[in-house]
Amino acid sequence: MALAVALIAIALTLAATPVAAGLARRFDLVDRPGPLKPQQAPVPYLGGAAVAPALAAGPVAAGRPELLAPMALALALGAVDDHRGLAPTTRLGAEVVVGIAAALVVPGPVAARAATAALVVILLNAWNLLDGLDGLAAGVALASGGAAATLGGDAAPVALAVTGATAGFLVFNRPPARIYLGDGGAYLLGTTLALTPALAGGGLERWSVWLATPMLFGIPVADVGVAVIRRARAGVPLFAGDRSHSYDQLVDRGLGVGATSAIFAAAQVGLGALGVLAVRLDPPAAFAVTAAGTTSVFLACLGAGLFTPRRNAPGR
């Protein structure tokens, strides 16, 4: 059954993506080249609509159609943000609403529901910030989905739908991308993955699941951390945006777009493996594994100079 969900998600995405790209071109929903847009030609950004049917297969297979509510809200919010560009405070307020919607439909005690709401807001933004390079956000989501699928329970079909959807989407999103996720797709992926810890199988220690979460979604969370620290050191407002994300810096140093995306996805595979290990340990040991992984990521970013403010980096 679980494998079938992934295969169905791949098939749905392969069928839906060309349709979404065609509609985006027809209605001029494209991302045009410019100072803040490194692509060479206009690229459709209805990727969220392309992956949505495949991602919906997860909650349906799990027998939890109520999970579709926060996912639909995330997609709608991203679509509005793509089209109009929401003010930061308005967007954050709407994200909190999505988080609350998620908290209301996941199982578990109040603490797990509150943690889910917070995780939705974090990952929704994290995947959106990560979606700045061809194949990057989808590739990392594929790796995170694979790790989250090992949580078991209802998390498995939901996470496997993510792996199938992103695998199919990468056929069109790999460099040079023929379609982008857009805010709608990034918000949807982040929200869907944020639901999985609360859906973990009952045979796993719940505290260990939550302690392992930073590793299951380590690369997007680390990229947010790098951006926050770098902008704080540069005196740049948190919501100002720039083109100095960790992946931008690697590309600027001469690493190709495809290679950079592959490295980030591979790093998430490694961090996800640590998360899978942590989930199966008692809470103190799970905390130790996550702490070791977090420290390693921090030292790697520090050694690579990713926290150093850059001059003349245009905002985005």
For the stretch 105-133, pLDDT in tens is 999 999 999 999 999 999 999 999 999 99
pLDDT digit string (tens) for 84-106? 889 999 999 999 999 999 999 99
For residue 142, what are the CA distances in angstroms to 47, 149, 165, 217?
15, 11, 8, 11
**Tokens 């699928």 appear where?**
149
Give residue 187's pLDDT: 98
Give residue 232's pLDDT: 84
**Tokens 């993510």 appear where?**
162
The answer to whether 75 and 188 have CB atoms below 8 angstroms apart is yes
CA–CA dist 193, 123 (Å, integer): 8
Per-residue pLDDT of the chain (316 residues; tens, 9 = 90+): 678 999 999 999 999 999 999 999 999 999 877 555 565 678 999 999 999 999 999 999 999 999 999 999 999 999 999 988 899 999 999 999 999 999 999 999 999 999 999 999 999 999 999 999 999 999 999 999 999 999 999 999 999 999 999 999 999 999 999 999 999 999 999 999 999 999 998 666 689 999 999 999 999 999 999 988 988 887 777 666 667 789 999 999 999 999 999 999 999 999 999 999 999 999 999 999 999 999 999 999 999 999 987 654 444 3
Which residues, listed in sequence order, are joined to residue 43 by a DSSP beta bridge? 31
Give residue 201's pLDDT: 81
Report the 10 Å Cβ neighbour count for 65.
Answer: 11
Q: Which two tokens stand for residue 23?
A: 């509609």
Give residue 313's pLDDT: 47
CA–CA dist 78, 75 (Å, integer): 5
Give residue 79's pLDDT: 95
Give residue 37's pLDDT: 59
CA–CA dist 181, 187 (Å, integer): 9
CA–CA dist 256, 32 (Å, integer): 21
Which residues, listed in sequence order, are joined to residue 30 by a DSSP beta bridge? 44
φ and ψ at 237, to 5 degrees? -55, 145
The answer to whether 184 and 79 have CB atoms below 8 angstroms apart is yes
The answer to whether 87 and 180 have CB atoms below 8 angstroms apart is no
Give residue 144's pLDDT: 98
Give residue 311's pLDDT: 54
The answer to whether 289 and 277 have CB atoms below 8 angstroms apart is yes
